[in-house]
Amino acid sequence: MTSEATGERLQKVMAAAGVASRRVCEQYIAEGRVAVNGEIITEPGRRVDPFTDRVTVDGTAIQLDTSRRYVMLNKPVGVVSSMKDEQGRPDLTRYTNRYEERLFNVGRLDADTSGLLILTNDGELAHVLAHPSFGVEKTYIAKVQGEATPTTMKKLMAGIELEDGLIAADKARIIGAASRGQTMVEITLHSGKNRIVRRMLDAVGHPVLELVRRQFGPLHLGTLPVGQARDLSKVELGRLLTIARAESNPASDLESDPA
């Protein structure tokens, strides 16, 4: 816990983090809506360390360290999820170079998959979100070959036996009617196994033709154009940090994301 003789005043760092004006932050504190490291604070004179203390407002986490950056990218097909590709393929530096901070990707999407990818310089958050024990849900839209049926969706949710074990989707549904021998499928799962969406759909006889990740935990791609990036909103960041901080003891080994 931060010593009362050190650190910065709570309302000051909250205001600097963009929570609200200093006066409004003082009001939040007085109303008992602010907690530091799990302890409700009602006195605005409390001093905190913005780099180590964890603060919540109404139970939602806020980031006091203003040096941290969180960006959502709609990764195009053909771009690899790395900062340098040994084969010389397009990589993520074309997007990260525009920021002053040194950003890196949270997890991966393979080169043939487009969609939501998080870029950040927050190593702790990246470690938790990328680790399979965290179990963050990801939602994909896949165009698959063949006319998929509700029975096939039930099979995906019941579990598919692959070479590395039984894998089940959390949700799976058909979007619209099949057209020209192709079907649009929405699938949600939390597995971190490599290329798991493609492998599952291939196993039930519907090879993936196109694959887009639309959602990562509480984050939605929305109308962000392909190849564009934007900072997370305060609301989005709060939701992401709240979920990430709820994971108390993430293990040490990371896996790739399931695309």
Please, is 136 exposed, middle or buried when counting C-beta atoms within 10 Å of its C-beta (0-12, 13-18, 19+)? Answer: buried
**Backbone dihedral angles phi then psi of residue 220, each to the nearest 5 degrees:** -120, 140
Q: Which residues are 231's β-sheet partners? A: 71
Residue 5 pLDDT greater than 60, yes or no: no
Residue 6 pLDDT greater than 90, yes or no: no
Residue 255 pLDDT greater than 50, yes or no: no
Residue 11 pLDDT greater than 70, yes or no: yes
State mean pLDDT over 139-156: 96
Note the pLDDT of residue 256.
47
State mean pLDDT over 201-217: 96
Taking only the tens place, the pLDDT of each residue in 55-87 is 999 999 999 998 999 999 999 999 999 998 888
pLDDT band at 45 (very low <50, low <70, confident <90, very high): confident
pTM: 0.87
Mean pLDDT over all residues of the chain? 90
Taking only the tens place, the pLDDT of each residue in 110-122 is 999 999 999 999 9
The DSSP letter of residue 28 is H
Q: Could you give the CA distance from residue 160 to residue 198 in angstroms, rounded to a whole number?
A: 12
**Helices 123-130 and 234-245, packing angle to 10 deg:** 70
Q: Which residues are known to be catalytic? A: 110
